[in-house]
Amino acid sequence: MKKVELLAPAGDLDKLKTAIDYGADAVYMAGPDYGLRTASKNFTLDDMKEAVKYAHSRDKKIYITMNILAHNDDLEGIEDYIQSLIDINVDALIVSDPGIYSIIRSINQDIEVHMSTQASVTNFRTVKYWMDQGIKRIVLARELSLKEIQDIKKNIPDSELECFVHGAMCMSYSGRCLLSNYMTGRDANRGDCAQACRWKYRLVEEKRPGEYFPIEEDEKGTFIFNSKDLCMIEHLDKLIEAGIDSLKIEGRVKSQYYVATVVRSYRIAIDKYYNNEFDEQTAKRLLEEIKKVSYRDFTTGFFEKKPDENDQLYESSSYIRKYDFVGLLLDYDEENNIATFEQRNRVFKGDEVEIFGPEDGFITTKIEKMYDEKMNEIEVANKAQQIFKIKIDQKLQPNSMMRKKSDN
């Protein structure tokens, strides 16, 4: 049986390596142009070469986003850019603009192309149309229910379907946002979203300037804007059984810690499903793991029903943070049981911490003694990327991370 693909985001090379190390089958990312996340660092061509080499040496795949809705001036130099991606052997290009797709095909007939969620594909006829044009995979619109996805697969059995299963939900139709450009001049459809849908709004009547009224549907406020984040970890079995081929995590601007935690949780869930070990208890445990990164309240989006007031955030759009990422493992000395970390947030002697790696489970330990890189005892690691060491008897997995409960 072919396993469902786990597709992870990467905003830079470190995050890409983390995504692969923590269980992603493929990673999507953007070069300096044509992707939809100008807020992330994105990749230079040299970065992309290294990314492809790193991924392919581990039998993983690299997909490049080119899914802006292009204006005329965006097309300048695009042919050379596409050829450079083909030359470094990326596995697929993700597009939404038919013009960009036509340019790709004028250059190369063989490169795999995926149709982005920005194309708002919502029915099996449109899936069939794009497949007939040579599109390999469809990233379905986020507004589809699980039943609608099942119907698409039933009508087009050989279709390759990808769905978002975790992360931020755009209020606009499959991410085609007009609000950001109108409010700020920042075009979300060209990668520069200001997240205007998460601002707080009040209503003003044209003949009463200066009198502001909250937009309310009940005492808690509006549910026009500000969706909860998508999380389908508890329903992973239904997604796979619906015939989805690739489960996609949103978050190219998220942290390395976010990528590790979320990718790892879905990797464990997928593997347990295929080993007939995925159950309600496992799902709830993995959900609690996901909640150890900064998050907003969760929803199942459109998969089970049309979202209502229970799928929106009323009082605050701020993130919930229960744990801090405090250290990245650089080395573990098995002979002396010394772990060397690079600091990410303040950590003190006496702190109780959790250490986790790509595999399931984590170690809980109290830092009895802490050392600097010259093995001098210290009380705190409070400088950015400071090297610190602790003694720990359990062997740590490569690329492990240290977290502790937040002081907030």
- DSSP per residue, 328-356: EEEEEETTTTEEEEEESS-EETT-EEEEE
The residues that bridge with 212 in the sheet, in sequence order, are 204
- In this predicted structure, what is the pLDDT of residue 224? 46
Both ends of the chain: CA-CA distance in Å? 46
**For residue 197, what are the contacts with CB-CB under 8 A and spacing of at least 6?**
170, 171, 172, 177, 179, 225, 226, 227
Condensed to tens digits (0 to 9), the pLDDT of residues 301-315 reads: 887 766 655 545 545
Range 77-85, long-range pairs (CB < 8 A, 24+ positions)? 78/34, 78/103, 79/103, 79/107, 81/31, 81/33, 81/34, 82/107, 82/108, 83/107, 83/108, 84/45, 85/31, 85/48, 85/111
Average pLDDT of the chain, as a whole number? 87
Q: How far apart are CA 247 and CA 228, in angstroms?
A: 19
Write out the two tokens for 1.
């049986």
The residue among 260, 284, 288, 261 whose CA lies nearest residue 272 is 284
3-state secondary structure at position 41: coil
What is the CATH architecture of 323-405? Beta Barrel (2.40)
Write out the H or E segment, with its range, that includes residue 210.
none
Q: Which CATH superfamily is domain 5-169+227-311 in?
A: Aldolase class I (3.20.20.70)
3-state secondary structure at position 366: strand
The residues that bridge with 93 in the sheet, in sequence order, are 64, 113
3-state secondary structure at position 13: helix
* Count of positions (residues) in the chain: 408
R_g over Cα of the chain: 23
| Domains in the chain: boundaries | 5-169+227-311, 323-405
**For residue 61, what are the contacts with CB-CB under 8 A and spacing of at least 6?**
25, 26, 27, 55, 91, 92
Q: Which residue has the tokens 């210290």?
A: 378
The residues that bridge with 341 in the sheet, in sequence order, are 329, 388
Query: Which stretches of the chain drop beneath a pLDDT of 70?
Result: 34-41, 170-205, 211-227, 305-318, 408
Write out the two tokens for 57.
């040496």
* Alpha carbon distances (Å) from 37 to 139, 189, 331, 384, 386: 17, 10, 33, 26, 30
Condensed to tens digits (0 to 9), the pLDDT of residues 220-250 reads: 334 445 567 899 999 999 999 999 999 999 9
The residue among 246, 234, 74 whose CA lies nearest residue 159 is 246
**The model's pTM:** 0.85
> Where would I find the H helices in 275-318?
280-290
State the amino acid at position 317 in one-letter form.
S
